Structure 1
Amino acid sequence: MYDEDDERPVTLDRRDGPYGEIALRRSGGRYEIIANGTFLMDTSDGRSERLLVDAALAALPADRTGLSVLIGGLGVGFSLARAAGEPRWARIAVAERERAVVDWHRAGPLGAFSEGALEDPRVSVVEGDLVAYVRNADVTYDALCLDIDNGPDWTVTEGNGGLYGPAGLAACRERLEPGGVLAVWSAQPSAAFDDALGSAQFTQVRTIEIPVNRGVPDVVHLAIKPA
């Protein structure tokens, strides 16, 4: 019988994906996603992932209706579950490049954390690279809630760095409706990224900090596309 107090990690699934190895691991009472041997995220505390969506919604006018949001990526599902629990979001897209992660939600233990949101008729899954999607899609959103790495200054996948530079931020701006919100999760504050958002013609740039048990706080960087 499994003992939740047993902290020894157990790998539940490991696959070769388009960007290397991706694994789902159980350690104690939490699940962890590991990419190419590097820890990405776990299910221990979803406060900052939920705040990513809450802060974006709060930054939109209260009388704005039929709202749409792009969440990237799916991860352990906290952000998607939060969005699906808010009726103001009329259209929810979630971009995830690892098919394994989608499978772990549809038919695996992570479904408990996304709370069945993938079955919500408002939700669609974009299976593919978020950076490429943001640059090439022909659809716009009221909010982009992006959490695909450890942050602008700490990328696990080299290609993700392009999202945080001038070209990537310009693409994010194009994917937003006028007055739309860009919200970016990070494992640490980045003054340089705040400056980059201003240089990319976003306004009302600010950072919300979320205390963690150890180390520097998680943060959500927020910025608005001018109306």
Structure 2
Amino acid sequence: MIPDLPTREQTGEPVVLDRRDGPFGEVVLRRRGADHEIIANGCFLMDTADGRSERLLVDAALERLDAERPSVLIGGLGVGFSLAHAAAEPRWGAITVAEREPAIIDWHRAGPLGAISGPALADPRVVVRELDLVAHLTTGEDSYDALCLDIDNGPDWTVTESNDGLYGPAGLAAARARLNPGGVLAVWSAQPSPAFEEALRAAGFTEVHTVEVPVRRGVPDVVHLGRRPS
């Protein structure tokens, strides 16, 4: 008898669950064992294996806010760890998520990522908006007490060229303008960026510093933080 060949999941290879051409290129949802992965234009973005740094992104901002029932803009939705963690915290008064890829929103509302974000999406404080974060910061009029941004692998490793401007003088000025006085900007990165810290200071942010999240191998994930002066 010829033995059955192992499946892709048994060998640890990823299984593609959905692949779409979105407004900014190709996005793919894969399953690897028990975890899900999001790939954008061939670049690994994130997975559901460990959400510590995404949760830290939200906590680090909240810890530095003095406002009662503060508002937060989370960009983008990703695998949903930041949104789920924010919705589990009753101190947030309003939670807005900016996500430019309709496929990712679908994977949460009617797909496997709903296992993470389902309760949060039902929270009346939560609004998910299908829009480009960079454009929203530049042209929008809404203001927030915190901006928690996780749309790239960091300031030095963007997913699309259109995101590059977010981390330069014009993008940081736009982010600062969207913050209420005393508000906090928190930016997730797969590696520390001293140059970005200097860019934050040059853009008028105060109390600039970086919080590290140790990883098993390699450089730590980090959250870069800065405050708009009151």
What is the TM-score when the length of structure 2 is the normalising length? 0.95
Greater than 6 Å deviation, 4+ residue runs: none
> 2:18 matched to which residue of 1?
13
Q: Choose 1 or 2 for highest CA Rg.
A: 2
Distance 2:33 2:11 in 1: 5
**In 2, Cα distance between equivalents of 1:3 and 1:41:** 20
Task: Please name the residue that 1:218 is paired with.
Answer: 221
TM-superposed deviation, 1:66: 2.5
Structural RMSD (CA):
1.3
The aligned residue for residue 180 of structure 1 is 183
| Alignment partner of 1:170 out of 164, 173, 177 | 173
Unaligned 5+ residue runs, structure 2? 1-6
Which amino acid in structure 1 is aligned with residue 157 of structure 2?
W
Shift of 1:116: 2.4
1:54 and 2:65 aligned:
no
Q: Residue deviations 1:119-154, cap 9 Å, x none?
A: 211111120110000111111000000000000011
- Whichever residue aligns with residue 8 of structure 1, its letter is E
* Residue of structure 1 equivalent to 2:45: 40
C-alpha separation between the residues in 2 aligned to 1:82 and 1:5? 31
8 Å CA contact 2:25–2:40 kept in 1: the answer is yes
Identity %: 71
Contact 2:71/2:144 (<8 A) preserved: yes
Q: How does 1:84-123 map to 2 (within 5 A)?
A: 84-123=87-126
Partners in 1 of 2:10 and 2:62 — Cα distance? 37
Report what 1:198 is aligned to.
201
Q: Following TM superposition, by how much is the alpha carbon of 1:214 offset from its aligned partner in structure 2, in angstroms?
A: 1.2
Counterpart of 1:80 in structure 2 is 83
Aligned match of 2:160: 157
TM-score (ref. length: structure 1): 0.96
AA aligned to 1:210 is V
1: distance between equivalents of 2:215 and 2:47?
14
Find the aligned partners of 1:125 and 1:29 in 2 and give their Cα distance. Answer: 26
